[in-house]
Structure 1
């Protein structure tokens, strides 16, 4: 699925729709250049989950946990991870195979650790249209994510 987005608000709203559909143990892997909107879509996913906390990028913590929604949100930012063992040291498996929803920014940095079933969300700038335009491509791997077909109606 591809979406052409022309504002931060539209990015947030797409994330909100994803979050409203998300289920326990879902894994959303976000990729894209710096400043494309990975944290904005994460904020939308959080909103869709009913998270009321302020969402911030866990750049220096690796993971932030949010417990105020209908499911726990585990928000990873692995941009500064130099060694996959750092991820294992924080209990990565317990997070991603638990009952919460995991959102992993910069997932391409740890792709060897990502399970076979996940959702890949790639955000790409479209400077030929404007500074605000983005192409958001969503691909899912595993039948458990077939519910995302509902996004095609957006």
Structure 2
């Protein structure tokens, strides 16, 4: 129990990095893949999806980095570790899902990294404490 905050932070760091990686893979893919006679990146919807995911990843990275710094100072508490774990793992799952969608049918082919990222993302919200447990910890601290 004494290392739960550190474990949850480590999961958050991995989740944030995984979200950024699958977004990077997808960004390269939509620049190369053509549909309707032009790269997918030429479609406004695709640009909006990439912009939203990039912003969510940047905001998440900032919070996770803050938590890492607090951990290094010995000041990371269970609540902030739970926030980081909940948010980053749910982001990883959401980004992997959206990236898979941008890959279309190729997203389900195991040769593509996005398919593996999609499969790997699901367990992140479970181990180290489920998303619901993270919310319970956070909620209790706010309403105590």
TM-score of the superposed pair, with normalisation by structure 1? 0.25
Bigger helix fraction: 2
* Bigger radius of gyration: 2
Bigger strand fraction: 1
Structure showing greater relative contact order (alpha-carbon pairs closer than 8 Å, 6 or more residues apart): 2
